[in-house]
Structure 1
């Protein structure tokens, strides 16, 4: 009975997770700005960067999972709201502001950890 219930929940878990196919891995975009929000949550840690410029633009940059980032040296307090950041990422194919993290530089600290 438990196996039947568990197998019924698998499609729900799969639908909550998206493929990295939404990102254009043939292109790289870079922005500088302030961290507006940092979500240390699964399935992907997400960084929101308020880019410099007029008009200001918020970019949603996704990374790998908490476990993958922790293995790379990240901690839940590695990034703080208000940090000045330089971010490079593979942009979204649909043109929305955001993408898949390549690296983020905060001061002299460089963190990597895309999917």
Structure 2
């Protein structure tokens, strides 16, 4: 029984719809503050300024480093200080967290896919 419960927990962790809302797509543009190339998911953080001038930091999840590299990413593709535009889906709790679908590097115009699953 413990093995079954463990497997169920692992499935929930890797289930896109358990964490992110497919009906809440968004696009943000801001300055990267940090990139974490870690397993099982790569995370990056973006300072986004709203129309009132208030800045908030967004945490963006992507696929594993291995999957990103297979999709064309390099560890040097995106760094703190870079301005990016991100398409993604919001977390269910509506905090400033999302699952990135693609990232446009504004300095080059290059569009990189985040190699993550929207569960469609």
Q: TM-score, normalised by structure 2?
A: 0.78
Alpha-carbon deviations, 1:1-53, whole Å to 9, x = none?
xxxxxxx8xx4x949x5532210112211111100111111110111010023
- The aligned runs of 1:33-44 (5 Å cut-off) are 33-44=30-41
SS in 2 for 1:44: coil
Quote the RMSD (CA, aligned, Å). 2.4
2:42 to 41, 45, 62: 45
SS in structure 1 of the partner of residue 21 of structure 2: coil
Report the equivalent of 1:93: 92
Counting matched residue pairs gives 108
Question: What TM-score do you get using the length of structure 1 for normalisation?
Answer: 0.82
1:1-115 matched pairs, under 5 angstroms: 11=6, 14=10, 17-21=13-17, 22-53=19-50, 54-107=53-106, 108-113=109-114, 114-115=116-117
Structure 1, unmatched stretches of 5+, are 1-7
Distance 2:43 2:26 in 1: 16
- Give ranges in structure 2 of 5+ residues lacking alignment: none
Cα offsets for 1:90-109 (capped at 9, x unmatched): 00011111211111111211
